[in-house]
Amino acid sequence: METENKAQTEEEVEMPNRDLSEQIKEATKDSHVRAENTGLMLSYQKGQVTLAQYKLLLCSLHHIYVALEEELDKNSSHPGVAPIYFPTELARRELIEEDLEHFYGQDWREKMVVPKAAERYAHRLRQIGGENPELLVAHAYTRYLGDLSGGQVLGRITQKSLGLKNGDGVAFFTFPGVSSPNRFKQLYRSRMNSVELTEEQRKGVLEEAVQAFELNIQVFDALQDLVSSMQREADRQTHTSQAEQLNGTQ
C-alpha cells in the first residue's frame, strides 16, 4: 500500500496532469489565441462577417470535414479512435452541404472555391488516417470541440450579420444530436482521457493538435487573401465602368 502511494506521488510530481484533455488544452493555448486573432476571426468578433467570407469558409470546411469524417469512419474501430467516434452527434458534412446548397444552389459542387491551404489540411488528415490513426483525435478535438465552444457564438454572429432567417444557411453550427454542448464536451474529454497512448504517441498527439490549429490558421489567412483580391477585382471593375461612362464610351 505504502509503495503504491509513493509511486503515485512521484508520478504526480513528475507529471502534474496526465489527462489528455487537460494536456491538449494547455498545449494549444497559444495557438488558440493566434487563431482568434486571424483576420477572419477578428471580423467575427466585431460582428462583421460578410457573405463572401462565410461562403468561402463553408467551401473550405466542407473539404476539411469530408476528409476528417472519412478518415474517422475508416478507422472507427482503431483503439485510438473508437472512444472518440461520435458520428451521430458530431458529423458536419451533411449540414455543411445543406448550407452550400442554400448559398450556391444545387450545383454547389461546381461552384466551390477551395484554397490550397484547405487542400493541404485535407491531405494531412488523409495521411494520418492512413499511417497514424491515433493522431486523428488531435484534429477531431480541434474542430469539434471548437465548434461546440466558440463556434456556437460564431453561428449567432453569422445569422445576425447576414440577416439569415429560420436557420437557413447556418446548419453547420447546429448539433441536433447534442442536447447540452457543455455536457457533451465533458463526455468527449473523458473519452479522450480513456484512450491508451504510449508516451511517444501522447507527445505526437499534442504536437499534432498544435499543427491542427496551424492548419486552420493557414486556411483562415488564405480565405482573407481571397476575399481581399475578390474585393479589389470588384472595385477595379466598378472603376473601369465609371471611367467608361465618363468618357462616353458606353
Binding site for ligand HEM (CB under 6 A): 25, 32, 35-36, 41, 44-45, 141-142, 145-146, 149-150, 213, 216
Chain position whose Cβ is nearest to ligand HEM: 150
| Minimum distance, C-beta of residue 25 to ligand HEM, in the bound complex (Å) | 4
The distance in angstroms from the start CA to the end CA of the chain is 93
CA 21 vs. chain centroid, Å, equals 17
| Minimum distance, C-beta of residue 209 to ligand HEM, in the bound complex (Å) | 8
Please state, in angstroms and rounded to a whole number, the distance separating the CA atoms of residues 236 and 5. Answer: 72
Residue 68 contacts residue 140 (beta carbons within 8 Å): yes
| Minimum distance, C-beta of residue 214 to ligand HEM, in the bound complex (Å) | 10
Whichever of 101 and 120 has its CB closer to ligand HEM, that residue is 120
The vertex-155 CA angle with 180 and 26, nearest 5°, equals: 65
| Minimum distance, C-beta of residue 231 to ligand HEM, in the bound complex (Å) | 21
Whichever of 54 and 213 has its CB closer to ligand HEM, that residue is 213
Whichever of 39 and 150 has its CB closer to ligand HEM, that residue is 150
DSSP conformation class of 143 = I
Please state, in angstroms and rounded to a whole number, the distance separating the CA atoms of residues 180 and 211. Answer: 29
Whichever of 104 and 193 has its CB closer to ligand HEM, that residue is 193
